[in-house]
Structure 1
Amino acid sequence: MTSGSGTRTQLDLPQMTGLGAHILIWTYFVTISVLGLLSLDDVHSPLPVYISIALFAAVWTLLTQDTQPRVGLGASIFTIAASVIATVISSDNAIVGGFSQWYVGAGALSMFYLSLRRRELLAWAGFAAIGVVVILWGLSTEDRLLEAVLLVARQAPFVLVGSLFSVGMRRTRKRLDGIHDVEIARAAAEAAALARTAERSRRLAGLDAAVGTQLQRIADGSELTDDDRAELVIAEARLRDSLRARQLDLPEIVSAVQRARRRGITVVLLDDRYPLALPNGALSSITEAAVHTLNNASTGAVTIRLLPAGRPVLATVVTDDKEYSRIEIPAP
């Protein structure tokens, strides 16, 4: 149970940080506290009972406030210390077995909780310390050693189940994470393949639009005129532009370039910025300057270049006509 509300992408270990887990934990605390209070007639003094209840109340409060997947080291040590202290002060206080020995179960459940929160070694160390205290108490009496051994043995499965469950869940999560990684890699490979196919289709469509008619005439064996050869030269330049100036491969610019080349103007398009995209709003300024210059050029050459990123100038439009002119589009 977790306190987060986001989408889970992994199999989470039980963290017992949600409202349902808190209700369950505190319900158990209230239950063992009532059992401890009901067994006051079976103890020498009620004071150790009150102190033990207060210790476990502090333990539950601290653990429920710690919402990390792995409980903190400080909280773990405090849980162990409080459980051992409660066992020490309560063992000699119990006159008979039964509910008066509630503190052992409370300590075992605390260790069970630690094992679920990825502190298996500390949980077993804490339970071993509780068990040693109980066994020493049994040795200090004349006929209660067996009772002490059975008391520890009955609680050990709690910690064992918690540890096995925690380890099993982590292994399962690792396997699921491995499957998840494989699926991601497969999806990435499929996306790359689709992107390559889309790019190939786009280029084939551009090729067909540029020289499809001329290529079909060549395939049919038709004789090409001088105008056809001139169009093929223009189409070849158009394909070259699409490779070395991708971000300038726009319908408005392409049309203006084609018209200028048919008028005998040499046009060079360069994109030294690729693959970095142009800033938002900059493309319209570049397009306006390029189209205006191309439409007004009558002779000579026009060079339109996107400069590398990081420079104060975003693009240049250079005209080598009757007079040399240079237009600079500053970076926003």
Structure 2
Amino acid sequence: MRQDATQSRRLELPQITGRGAHALIWIYFVTMSALALLSLDDVRSPVPVYITIGLFATIWLVLTRDTQPRVGVGVSVYVIVASVAASAISSDNAITGGFSQWYVGAGAIAMFYLSLRRRDLLAWIGFAAIGATVILWGFTTDDRLLEAIVLVARQAPFVLVGSLFSLGMRRTSQRMDGIHGAETARAAAEAAALARTAERSRRLVALDSAVGPQLQRIADGVELTTAERDELLIAEARLRDSLRARQLDLPEIVAAVQRTRRRGISVVLLDDRYPHPLPPGTLPLITEAAVRILDSASTGAVTIRLLPAGRPLLATLVADDDEYSRIEIPAL
């Protein structure tokens, strides 16, 4: 229960590959496309604008289809190539600045998203390629080089913010994982302590029910009879059985063992298989065979042992009285 509560309180980083993030990306695309179409009067030809809008549509499509936390290399390379191609197609088409140069900002936002998706190096390579394309266009003009440099410099903070935010998210994720690991370890330790306490309480209750009255008489200084001493010895052996043969600690076997010991017969129970559980369906066979060999013993000793896992035999039951008898239960 505590573990569930811990899990429900665990902080989660915002998802950048979910529907909300994808919706935001497409809203941005629609907005920039609308501004591009509204700025057709500021370009030489509408055809490059339409091509550029189509290129960025494919960019957002491949980015939203790749839902891994770290976007693939192939997708990243395509985003870079398409953004550079859009810049090359549209740079010479813009007559004036303003919204007609929207493609540079769109390319920077694409690189921003790559950096968020843990591709910081590729994002900066892509932005450098976009910037080189735009500045190269500025060199080919008579008086627009400064405009090209300012245009690129104005978009660089987008990629920088994306890289810093990505770095911060990774560090925060590592810290949160460390905190969650510590909480899980603490919850596991508390659960183990509670389990030990419950087991100790269960054994104390069993001890009290088995020999509580006799122990109280000893504490009161009352001398025990021979029969009571024999019952204490049987109870002591019963407690040893519960520790050495946990999977044989069943009511039918315990009752048969008590009956056998009261007849003066030595009984030894061993579980060398623990903590490996018994195969399904074998416990009734072992119980039936154990009760049968215990009730049929008249003298001597009876030893019932669960063998370690991986052996051909699952259990052996040996009665060493007037006649030696042995029962073997195969593992299969």
Provide TM-score, normalisation by structure 1: 0.90
Contact 1:10–1:173 (CA<8 Å) still a contact in 2? no
Q: Which residue in 2 is equivalent to 1:216?
A: 216
Q: By how many angstroms is 1:8 displaced?
A: 11
Write the distance in 2 (CA, Å) between the matches of 1:216 and 1:302: 32
Q: By how many angstroms is 1:131 displaced?
A: 1.7
Stretch of structure 1 that moved more, 63-72 or 51-60: 51-60
Q: Which residue in 2 is equivalent to 1:169?
A: 169
Q: Which residue in 2 is equivalent to 1:101?
A: 101
Write the distance in 2 (CA, Å) between the matches of 1:246 and 1:161: 62
Q: Are residues 1:262 and 2:262 paired?
A: yes
Letter in 1 for 2:100: S
Q: Which residue in 1 is equivalent to 2:4?
A: none
Letter in 2 for 1:14: Q
Q: 1:36 to 1:167 in 2, by over 3 A?
A: same
Q: 1:147 to 1:9 in 2, by over 3 A?
A: same
Write the distance in 2 (CA, Å) between the matches of 1:202 and 1:24: 59
The one-character-per-residue Cα deviations of 1:108-138 (angstroms, maximum 9, x if unpaired) are 1111111111112221221122122222322
Secondary structure of the corresponding residue to residue 136 of structure 1: helix
Letter in 2 for 1:185: A
Stretch of structure 1 that moved more, 7-16 or 264-273: 7-16
Q: Which residue in 1 is equivalent to 2:322?
A: 322
Contact 1:79–1:110 (CA<8 Å) still a contact in 2? yes
Q: By how many angstroms is 1:264 displaced?
A: 1.1
Write the distance in 2 (CA, Å) between the matches of 1:29 and 1:8: 36
Q: By how many angstroms is 1:29 displaced?
A: 2.3
Letter in 2 for 1:11: E
Q: Which residue in 2 is equivalent to 1:4?
A: none
Determine what percentage of the aligned residue pairs are the same residue.
75
Q: Which residue in 1 is equivalent to 2:305?
A: 305
Q: By how many angstroms is 1:234 displaced?
A: 1.6
Contact 1:311–1:331 (CA<8 Å) still a contact in 2? yes
Q: 1:114 to 1:93 in 2, by over 3 A?
A: same
Q: Which residue in 1 is equivalent to 2:3?
A: none
Q: Which residue in 2 is equivalent to 1:236?
A: 236
The one-character-per-residue Cα deviations of 1:136-185 (angstroms, maximum 9, x if unpaired) are 32233222233223322332232222222222222222222221111111
Write the distance in 2 (CA, Å) between the matches of 1:124 and 1:14: 22
Aligned length: 325
Contact 2:245–2:270 (CA<8 Å) still a contact in 1? yes
Within-5 A mapping of 1:61-140 = 61-140=61-140
Write the distance in 1 (CA, Å) between the matches of 2:150 and 2:15: 29
Contact 2:88–2:133 (CA<8 Å) still a contact in 1? yes
Q: 1:13 to 1:163 in 2, by over 3 A?
A: farther
Q: Which residue in 2 is equivalent to 1:14?
A: 15
CA RMSD, 1 decimal: 2.1
Q: 1:41 to 1:8 in 2, by over 3 A?
A: farther
Letter in 1 for 2:75: A
Q: By how many angstroms is 1:45 displaced?
A: 3.5
Contact 1:10–1:177 (CA<8 Å) still a contact in 2? no
Letter in 1 for 2:26: W
Letter in 2 for 1:151: L
Letter in 2 for 1:201: S
Q: 1:311 to 1:10 in 2, by over 3 A?
A: farther
Within-5 A mapping of 1:253-292 = 253-292=253-292
Q: By how many angstroms is 1:205 displaced?
A: 2.2
